[in-house]
Amino acid sequence: MGTNMPGNRTNALEWVEQRIEPWTTNQAAIDLSAAQVAAITQLAQTAREKLTAAGQAQQAARNATQEWHSAADQMKALASDLIIDIKAYARGEGGEDVYGLAQINPRSPAGEAPPPAVPYDMRTNLTNEGAVSITWKGRGPTGTRYHVLRQLESETSFTFQGDTSDKAFTDATVPAGTPRVDYQIVAVHTDNRVPGEPFFVRFGTGNQATQDQAQPEAA
């Protein structure tokens, strides 16, 4: 005995696809016309094509969202650096008018917002999808954010990967086959940028990742 067609669209498509061959072979015995079998066969093929296209569109949307987030994070990181430079100029030869020209708020009075603590106790884990999950500890005033920097073995300097207010970050863009990645976490608040010690992740056998402090030349 067979089973009833499922209500779920994807499951229903698979159910029909599994019956195309027996319905074609036994069409006379089960009182189906050639036109009916041809019609259900064509509709199943069309449904499969549309399902495939929908999956591709969803993946494209996920990729586009990730690219948008990456571009926005890089923009925010550079803007933060520019603000620090503008404020430093305003405190020096530029004067207070610089804040108005740049349309930014003056720096907090001394002692009102202490600098964040150095990020420490960085820990990493390799996810099932091959991404590197990073956590760390740190303290700072309200508004402290953390910039995640990365350097691959083929690169000569650290590059910005993301900005977060949490003490956790997942790097899902490590190229396949990469043997080692260096990271650095930088605590950022107003004019203060406090970098943690660089550390590296080495990808060993069995899809395991090991983490240690980076060598001085990698910093």
pTM > 0.75: no
Contacts of 115 (CB under 8 A, 6+ apart): 140, 187, 189, 192, 194
**Taking the alpha carbons of 23, 26, 31, 37 in that order, is the dihedral positive or negative?**
positive
Give the residue from 132, 112, 130 showing the smallest Cα distance to 185: 132
Tell me the average pLDDT across 53-67. Answer: 91
Other C-beta atoms lying within 10 Å of the C-beta of residue 79: 11
Task: Give the chain's mean pLDDT.
Answer: 86
Where does the pLDDT of residue 208 fall: very low under 50, low under 70, confident under 90, or very high at 90 and above? very low
What's the mean pLDDT in 64-71? 87
Which domains does the chain possess?
A: 9-60 (no CATH), 120-218 (2.60.40.10)
Model pLDDT for residues 3-52, shown as the tens digit of each residue = 789 889 999 999 999 999 999 999 999 999 999 999 999 999 999 999 99
Residue-wise pLDDT tens digits, 136-194: 999 988 889 999 999 998 888 999 998 898 999 999 999 888 889 999 999 998 778 89
